[in-house]
Every structure is written in structure tokens, then in C-alpha cells.
């Protein structure tokens, strides 16, 4: 490490001295030398990583063994599989194979019998004679057993019955056959996974990233070729440990909000969570209907069509070309400027075309400037300056008039995206003309007038922010994500068509892994046609949809109860792990309920739960419950603290949490408590999904609470029991 | 953009000579504005001196966009790096003749 640092400093010095050298020859030589040093540093880093990996392997060198008889061989080969590979440095013999190595596929995909794996050279067939699994902890063998079928259930059950941890953990020992297929897929440009709550889709997405960073040299991706799109920062933090634990460098993780913020250049807009909070607080009324109608329209296919037509119309209709005059004569005519842009076949974005036009006009100005300077010099002579003062005065006049000229030119060579977006709604008749043939929603008149009012006051609703970002990208040709080759998009069900259209512009060269669950949408309807839409927008050649119905997170009891909130029931398979049935509690008042909740929290901790999530409908509800409960909570004998989780805060998820449901996407808790399961809060159509999401966060314990009248979804629940 | 420190130091020295007695606490990052006792004409003189010293063209329309000496130094470095093969001005002699010879 020290050596590396020293080398780093040495290089910095070498780089600095480069600037002092004038001779190109020297520069070239130096560049060569810097290159060498950089290579040495990369090697050094690689070595350091390797040491870290090996150190970790000392504690748990491998977790599986396969004895594989290659077709045509007389003797089976014994191969160990671990988190990383280990080679005998002298004989170069591989002692342990990395879990991502092609041969490891045998372990994940087959039971004893005929088996194969896909090597770079093609399919390798043979006979799997033995499949053995080990548990090695702190360098000691705890147990091992021989597996007949897939990854043996007992092993998995033990693994799953552990507590949820503050950070997501790796699953290399227990990857299932269908999960393995997703992780190792390299065929598809768009791989979509519809995975039930707790099916491990996020985990699979991350292991897939690790695989992509490992696979064959030619396709291997570096950390900066991959981006993970997360629903929120809480989730980002939750998953942040996986890649380092797998021995890989962490990749860039972004939220949709961060991308909007970047593209909109810091302009203030309504975030998705602010929108959800507004809807959650407003309840199931007219206001919610309007907000959702607006969002659905602006992020849907028809509006993308309208925006595209608008973008086409902009150069002709909304760019105020004008004659450019300099030193008393016209250097460029309005009509010829306009023609250059309108008839351009270069396929460049409008912003770039206009900048090129500006440069061309300025070139003409520069040519005329010499004679202009002569006349300005002539002019200032009348005032009797000294030669130096006179030259400066003449130059100043030129500077001032040039500044004014450029300002004039930029009235049409610079695009005001927000202003343009406003223009889209300014003339209603024109808007309808533009939208001709596209399906418009019923309340379109209201949407247009609300949008006009909103934009006039400078406010950007969430839908407007997305649309404006799309417009900005399309007109500005903003492509800072060119290097991204793989986009992993989690909790995809909450994204709208416009999101995907936006990402397609932002990551033009990427392949996609899209993970979602259409049953977990918030404030939005979705079914399996969602994936068809995604595939249609991204327009990739090779596309596939994988469905994962088996849930590993919850106990059978919790899963069954949660699924009871879904419309028409949804096919879900549970991994048979049993626990206590979920319970429903009621009290006459909220104060009475608070005591019951405190009791349940204490009981959960006592029963060994490390994380307890009190999942509320909105942030306002979460704040209210936190205030009520924090005063009553004494730490439950173990001194466990209670936290209120707020947006954009990075929390370690261990202890007791009060959190709004929309922030729990992708997360899990040992015990989940749902207060407020009453008629007032959960009665709308969307609310049943919120209950489903909240309940399916639980690993071991689940309890629901209400004062007064129960939510109709709870009252009608088939598996309601244990009151 | 980061300016080359040498360019910046040299420009700072030229600027001190232009400002003379008014150069109280003008630094590389000081905004080139009247509040700091800096007039447009001072900036123009500095620009002209830079053009002579570094043999670059600083376009008139860009001059008022330069907010500090650091900005100017970065501009000069950029022009130097590009080798400023200007359309109107083919060599230094011509450039000097164009602006400064009477």
C-alpha cells in the first residue's frame, strides 16, 4: 500500500514536470514513461485486491465441491468453488474456482448425473458424480453434506432463517438454478425479470453485475461501464456492500431524482417522493385523481409522441432567427440562417447545430472586424488620446459592440428549454393540432390549464420535470453517459414510458437488466404488458422476460397473508419456511394502540428480531407515530433505539424504524408492524398494493394495527386471523 | 478550467502594472468589476497586453465574459493549446498590425 502511494506521488510529480518541458520529443518520451507507471500502479492495485481476496479466503476458502467426469476422461476431476479463484503459483493449477467461472455453472444448475457447462470454446459435457456443500466459518469446517438435487433446502432454510442485516448480503452459496441463468445471461440486450416480493431480484441484479465484471476478457465490463438505477438513497446504501463483498469495485449508483437534477441543471422540481407524499396525504379523492391523471399523461406514450412532434416543429416555429448586422452591413440574413438549420441533414441535436451556426456567423464578423477596427481607431483619434490609450479606447468600443452583437445572436442560437416547454402549452388550439391522432385523456383541458398555471409560477411537477428533461436531452444532445454499457434498473415497475425513453437517450450504448414486480407499483397500475412497453421503447434486438415466482424472504405464513391483499390472488410459491402467523390488533383509540404497538416491538426484539420496521402510509404518518411512540419507548430492555427514517437520509437498517412505505421498496425487516390499517387510510384501489408492499417486507414477524374501523382490504382479507 | 500557474502569474504581474496604485488587493480570483475599482478599459488593456505577450487572439465578444484573471489565463492557455489558426489573422505580425499599428 505504501509503495502504491509512493508511486502515485511520483507519478503526480512526473505529470507536473511535463508542463515545464517545451520540446515535443521530451513530451512524447515522458508520456511513455507515465504510461508505464500507470500500468505499474494498476498492477499494484490488482495485487492489493488479490491480497484482500485471499485474506478473506483464509476464513472461508470454498463452499462447494463438484466431481466432474469429462466425457472421454477416465477419471473425474475434483473442483472446489469459492468466492474467488485460487491458483498454485508454481504449478499454475487452479485450486479453487471463482463462483463465476464457467465450470461453477455445473454446481448451480445440475444435480448428480449428466451435466454440462458453457466454456468460451463451447459446451463441455460430462457426468456430475458428486456435489458437496460446505459451511466453513473462521477457517473451521462447521459441516458439509452431499446434495442430490439443487442447492439443498436445509442449507437454504438455515441461511434464510437468519436475521435481516443492515446491508444486503451476498448469496453465492445459495444461488438457485433459474437465478443462475439470469446472472450468467450474456445473450440478451434487454433482460427483464418479473420477480415476486422476496424472490431475490435485487440480489440477482447485483450478482449479475459482479458476473459481468468477471466474464471473458473480450466482454468484460469495468466499474465505470455499469450504472445501477436505484429507487432511493436508502436503498442505495442498503445494497452498497454487495460488490465489495464479492471482491469487485463498486459501480456508479444513481437515482431517477439525481438524473433529473443533473439534466435540469439544478432547477427545482417536485420529486417522486414528494409526489407520493402529496397523494398519500390527499387520500383517495379528486385531488389525487388530478395529480395522477397529469403524471400518467405526461409520462405516457401519447405525450412522448407530442414531444417528438414539438421537437420537430421548434426550429421552424420557435427559434427567432434574425438578420445579423455588423459595422453597418448585414453579415447574415434571417432566412438563410433559418434554412441552414431547418434543412440540416447532419443528424445533430438542435443545440449543437445552433452553436455551429453561431460560430459560422462569428467567423464572418471576425473577417469584417479588421476594417471595423480601422474606422474605430479613426474615430477615437478625434479625442486626442495617446497612442496606447487610443488603441485601448478603440478596442473597448469594439468589445462593447461585439458583446451587444453576440447577445443579439444568442437570442436565437441559445435554447431556453423551460421557455420552450412553456410554449408547448401556451396555445391550446395548436397543442390539439400537434396531438392530432394521438389518444388524449378525458381531462386534458384541465391538465393543460393547470400546467400553464404551474409553469407560469416557475413550478415543475414531477411529470413536467421528466418531460422537460426529455426535451433537454433531445434538443441538447446531452450524452455524458456514453461509456455506460450496462444499466441495471431496479424496482422498474414504478417507472413510466417516459423514463425509459429518457434513459435510452442518456445511455445510448447500453444493454439493460430491468428488475421489477408489477404487483408492487405505488400510485400506478401495471400488469405484465408493462414489460412489452419497456421492450418497445428500448427497442433492443434480443430481449427476454424471466419470471420468478418463488419468494425466499418471508415465511409461508407471511407470504400467504401478504398475497391476500393482491387483486385476484397472484401465483406465488413460497420456500417452505414456517413461522408465526401474522397478527391483527385493534384498540379503541390511537393512544390505546400505541401501547399495543410498543408491546409488539418489545416482543419482536425479545424473539430475536434485529430490525423492526413500523411501516406507515406517508411521511406525515411516520412522523406522527414516531412522536407518539418515541416517548413511550424505553429501549425494550436491550437499549435498542428507535429512528424516524426520512427521505435522502442514509441509515443503517438495524434497530427499530418508523418509515413511510414508499421508502421501503427493496428493503426488508425481521419484523414489520403496520399501524393505521384503518378505513380512513387504506380504502382506495392503490392502497391494497401499499398494504401488500408493507407486509411483504417482513422476514419473520408481521403485525397489523388499527383503531376504529378496519381497512376494507383488511376486513375482506381471506387469511385474517390471530386477533 | 484550471489555468496554467505560470500564465496566471505573468498575467497578474501585467495587471498590477496596468492598475498601478489601485492594485490594493486584486488577486487572481477578484471579479473584474467596478466594485473592485477595475474599469472595462483596464481589462481591455490587459487583454491587449496578453495578446502581445502570448501571441494569441482574444475575441472581442469574449472579453466581457472573462470574470477574473484566472478566467483570462485559462482562455489564453486554451488558445495556446489550440494553436489559434485564425481565419482572419494568419500570423503574429499580421495580428499586431491589425490591432496596434497606426
**For residue A336, is pLDDT > 50?**
yes
Express as a percent the part of chain A with pLDDT over 90. 55
Taking any CB pair shorter than 8 Å as contact, residues of chain A touching chain B are 19, 362-363, 365-367, 369-370, 373, 377, 387-388, 390-393, 395-396, 398-400, 402-403, 405-406
Question: Checking phi first, is residue A517 left (phi over 0); if not, alpha (psi -120 to 50) or beta?
Answer: beta
Give tens-digit pLDDT for A599-644.
Answer: 999 999 999 898 999 999 999 999 999 999 998 998 877 788 898 9
Q: Which of B49, B77, B44 is nearest to B62 (CA)?
A: B44
Residue ranges of domains in chain B, CATH in brackets: 5-101 (1.10.1200.10)
Beta-bridge mates of residue A145: A133
pLDDT of A433 higher than 90:
yes
Helix, coil or strand: residue A511: strand
Give residue A469's pLDDT band: very low, low, confident or very high (50, 70, 90): very high
Radius of gyration of chain B (CA): 13
A486-518: per-residue pLDDT in tens? 999 999 999 999 999 999 989 988 999 999 999
Cβ neighbour number for residue A342 with a 10 Å cutoff: 12
The 10s digit of each residue's pLDDT in A670-706 is: 999 999 999 989 988 889 899 999 999 999 999 999 9
Q: Residue A474's closest CA among A364, A645, A565, A348?
A: A348
- Bridge partners (DSSP) of residue A545 are A192
> Which three cell numbers mark A678?
384503518
Which residues of chain A make contact with B40, given a CB cutoff of 8 A?
396, 399-400
**Has the ipTM of the complex gone over 0.95?**
no
Q: Tell me, what's the pLDDT at B94?
A: 44
Q: What pLDDT does A250 receive?
A: 84
pLDDT digit string (tens) for A197-246? Answer: 999 999 999 999 999 988 765 678 888 899 999 988 888 888 888 888 88
Question: Is 50 exceeded by the pLDDT of residue A418?
Answer: yes
Q: What is the pLDDT of residue A157?
A: 73
When pLDDT is cut at 50, 70 and 90, the band that residue B93 belongs to is: very low
Give strand pairing partners of A134. Answer: A144
Within 8 A of B88 by CB-CB distance, chain A residues are 366-367, 369-370
DSSP for residue B38: -
The nearest CA of chain A is from the CA of B26 a distance in Å of: 21
Q: At what angle do helices A301-317 and A497-506 cross, to 10 degrees?
A: 50
pTM: 0.83
**Set of chain A residues whose Cβ sits within 8 Å of the Cβ of B100:** 391
Do A392 and B41 lie within an 8 Å CB cutoff?
A: yes
Contacts of B98 in chain A (CB under 8 A): 370, 373
How many other CB atoms are there within 10 angstroms of residue A27's CB atom?
Answer: 13
Interface A-B: count of C-beta contacts within 8 A: 58
Please check the confidence at residue A186 and state whether its pLDDT lies above 80: yes
Amino acid at each position: 500500500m505504501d509503495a502504491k502511494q509512493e508511486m502515485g506521488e511520483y507519478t503526480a510529480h512526473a505529470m507536473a514536470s511535463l508542463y515545464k518541458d517545451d520540446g515535443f520529443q521530451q513530451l512524447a518520451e515522458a508520456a511513455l514513461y507515465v504510461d508505464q507507471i500507470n500500468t505499474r500502479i494498476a498492477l499494484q492495485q490488482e495485487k492489493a485486491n488479490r491480497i484482500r481476496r485471499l485474506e478473506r479466503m483464509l476464513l472461508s476458502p470454498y463452499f462447494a465441491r463438484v466431481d466432474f467426469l469429462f466425457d472421454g476422461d477416465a477419471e473425474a476431476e475434483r473442483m472446489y468453488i469459492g468466492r474467488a479463484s485460487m491458483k498454485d503459483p508454481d504449478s499454475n493449477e487452479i485450486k479453487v474456482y471463482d463462483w463465476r467461472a464457467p465450470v461453477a455453472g455445473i454446481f448451480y444448475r445440475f444435480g448428480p448425473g449428466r451435466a454440462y457447462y458453457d466454456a468460451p470454446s463451447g459446451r463441455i459435457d460430462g457426468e456430475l458424480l458428486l456435489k458437496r456443500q460446505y459451511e466453513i466459518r473462521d477457517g473451521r469446517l462447521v459441516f458439509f453434506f452431499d446434495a442430490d438435487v439443487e442447492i439443498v433446502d436445509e442449507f437454504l432454510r438455515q441461511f434464510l432463517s437468519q436475521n435481516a442485516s443492515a446491508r444486503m448480503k451476498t448469496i453465492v452459496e445459495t444461488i438457485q438454478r433459474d437465478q443462475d441463468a439470469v446472472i450468467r445471461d450474456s445473450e440478451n440486450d434487454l433482460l427483464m425479470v418479473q420477480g415476486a416480493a422476496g424472490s431475490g431480484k435485487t440480489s440477482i441484479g447485483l450478482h449479475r453485475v459482479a458476473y459481468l465484471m468477471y466474464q471473458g476478457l473480450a466482454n468484460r465490463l469495468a466499474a465505470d461501464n455499469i450504472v445501477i438505477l436505484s429507487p432511493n438513497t436508502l436503498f442505495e446504501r442498503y445494497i452498497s456492500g454487495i460488490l465489495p463483498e464479492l471482491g469487485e469495485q463498486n459501480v456508479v449508483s444513481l437515482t431517477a431524482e439525481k438524473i433529473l437534477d443533473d439534466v435540469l441543471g439544478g432547477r427545482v422540481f417536485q420529486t417522486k417522493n414528494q409526489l407520493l407524499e402529496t397523494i398519500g396525504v390527499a387520500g383517495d379523492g379528486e385531488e389525487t385523481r388530478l395529480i395522477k391523471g397529469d403524471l400518467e399523461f405526461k409520462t405516457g406514450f401519447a405525450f412522448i409522441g407530442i414531444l417528438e412532434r414539438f421537437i420537430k416543429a421548434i426550429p421552424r416555429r420557435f427559434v427567432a432567427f434574425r438578420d445579423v448586422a455588423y459595422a453597418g452591413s448585414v453579415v447574415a440574413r434571417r432566412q438563410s440562417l433559418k434554412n441552414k438549420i431547418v434543412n440540416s441533414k447532419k443528424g445533430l441535436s438542435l443545440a449543437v447545430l445552433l452553436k455551429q451556426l453561431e460560430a459560422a456567423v462569428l467567423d464572418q464578423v471576425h473577417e469584417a472586424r479588421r476594417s471595423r477596427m480601422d474606422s474605430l481607431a479613426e474615430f477615437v483619434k478625434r479625442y486626442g488620446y495617446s497612442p496606447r490609450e487610443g488603441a485601448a479606447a478603440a478596442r473597448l468600443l469594439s468589445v462593447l459592440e461585439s458583446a451587444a452583437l453576440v447577445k443579439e445572436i444568442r437570442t436565437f442560437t441559445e435554447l431556453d428549454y423551460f421557455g420552450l416547454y412553456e410554449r408547448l402549452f401556451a396555445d391550446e388550439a395548436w397543442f390539439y393540432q400537434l396531438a392530432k391522432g394521438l389518444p388524449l385523456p378525458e381531462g386534458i383541458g384541465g391538465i393543460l390549464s393547470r400546467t400553464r398555471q404551474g409553469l407560469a409560477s416557475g413550478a415543475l411537477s414531477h411529470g413536467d420535470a421528466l418531460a422537460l428533461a426529455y426535451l433537454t436531452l433531445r434538443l441538447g444532445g446531452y450524452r455524458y453517459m456514453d461509456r455506460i454499457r450496462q444499466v441495471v434498473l431496479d424496482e422498474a415497475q414504478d417507472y413510466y414510458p417516459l423514463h425509459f425513453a429518457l434513459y435510452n437517450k442518456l445511455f445510448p450504448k447500453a444493454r439493460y437488466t430491468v428488475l421489477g414486480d408489477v404487483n408492487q407499483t405505488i400510485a400506478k397500475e401495471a400488469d405484465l404488458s408493462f414489460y412489452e412497453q419497456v421492450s418497445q421503447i428500448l427497442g433492443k434486438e434480443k430481449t427476454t422476460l424471466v419470471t420468478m415466482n418463488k419468494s425466499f424472504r418471508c415465511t409461508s405464513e407471511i407470504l400467504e397473508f401478504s398475497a391476500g391483499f393482491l387483486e385476484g390472488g397472484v401465483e406465488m410459491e413460497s420456500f417452505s419456511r414456517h413461522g408465526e402467523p401474522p397478527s391483527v390488533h385493534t384498540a379503541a383509540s390511537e393512544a390505546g394502540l400505541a401501547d399495543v404497538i410498543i408491546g409488539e416491538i418489545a416482543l419482536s426484539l425479545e424473539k430475536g428480531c434485529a430490525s423492526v420496521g413500523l411501516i406507515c402510509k406517508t411521511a406525515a404518518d411516520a412522523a406522527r407515530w414516531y412522536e407518539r411512540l418515541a416517548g413511550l419507548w424505553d429501549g425494550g430492555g436491550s437499549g435498542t433505539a428507535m429512528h424516524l427514517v426520512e427521505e435522502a437520509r442514509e441509515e443503517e437498517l438495524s434497530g427499530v424504524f418508523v418509515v413511510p412505505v414508499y421508502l421501503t421498496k427493496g428493503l426488508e425487516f425481521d419484523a414489520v408492524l403496520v399501524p393505521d390499517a384503518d378505513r380512513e387510510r387504506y380504502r382506495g384501489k392503490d392502497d391494497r398494493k401499499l398494504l401488500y408492499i408493507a407486509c411483504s417486507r417482513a422476514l419473520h414477524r408481521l403485525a397489523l394495527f388499527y383503531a376504529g374501523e378496519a381497512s376494507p382490504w383488511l376486513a375482506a382479507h381471506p387469511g385474517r386471523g390471530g386477533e | 478550467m484550471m489555468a496554467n500557474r505560470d500564465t496566471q502569474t505573468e498575467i497578474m504581474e501585467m495587471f498590477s502594472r496596468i492598475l498601478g496604485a489601485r492594485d490594493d488587493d486584486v488577486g487572481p480570483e477578484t471579479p473584474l468589476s467596478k466594485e473592485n475599482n477595475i474599469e472595462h478599459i483596464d481589462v481591455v488593456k490587459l487583454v491587449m497586453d496578453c495578446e502581445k505577450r502570448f501571441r494569441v487572439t482574444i475575441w472581442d465578444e469574449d472579453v466581457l465574459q472573462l470574470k477574473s484573471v484566472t478566467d483570462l489565463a485559462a482562455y489564453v492557455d486554451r488558445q495556446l493549446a489550440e494553436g489559434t489558426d485564425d481565419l482572419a489573422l494568419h500570423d503574429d505580425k499580421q495580428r499586431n498590425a491589425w490591432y496596434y499599428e497606426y
